[in-house]
Amino acid sequence: MKTQVVLSVIIFVVLFSIDQVIKFGFANFDWNVKGPYMSLHLAYNYGVAFSMFSFLAQYLKYIQLAMVIVGFIYLLKNKEVFKDYWFAITLLFVGGLSNILDRFTYGGVVDYFYWHYGFEFAIFNISDVLINIAVAIIIYTQIKQWMKERKQKS
């Protein structure tokens, strides 16, 4: 488990730093680039996914920070969960904390990937991608575990 914690911290620091440097660049310099399929375009999201709950903009950072703290406390009390899902949890914490820092620093989450080929899609950032990858890993692991248990019962 010690190795997993060390790897988790290293991955967290590297990905968090990369994400924050990119967001700083978009927020402070003109890094916008128009592409035929996808553009890089600065936008601030004051809500959550697809700007839902933007009416809570000034409170979201505190609500989300409280959720992360509760999750961290849960992991301290349930170390086996971290052991089984350490990589996905690391990605969730990177994405979540980086977006929360944006709310404190810029007043909203810094988004910049904008898909616009064929249909207009949401604008998002690397943190959002990491969160989605983490959820996919957790779902995949849960399905795999369920299938294994189901097979053992038969």
* Percent of the chain whose pLDDT exceeds 90: 83
Integer Cα distance of 114 and 19 in angstroms: 16
Please, which pLDDT band fits residue 149 given cuts at 50, 70 and 90?
very high
Is 19 among the catalytic positions?
no
Work out the mean pLDDT of the chain and round it to a whole number.
Answer: 93
Catalytic residue check, 102: no
- Residue 125: name the closest of 100, 149, 151 by CA: 100
Residue-wise pLDDT for 35-68, tens only, equals: 999 999 999 999 887 677 777 878 899 999 999 9
Determine contact, residues 25/133, Cβ cutoff 8 Å. no
Residue 21 and residue 117: Cα distance in Å, rounded? 27
The tens digit of pLDDT for each residue in 96-121 reads: 999 999 999 999 999 999 988 888 87
The reported pLDDT for the residue numbered 153 is 87
3-state SS class at 43:
strand
Which of 19, 30, 102, 128 is flagged as catalytic? 128
Angle at 94 between CA 106 and CA 63, to 5 degrees: 60
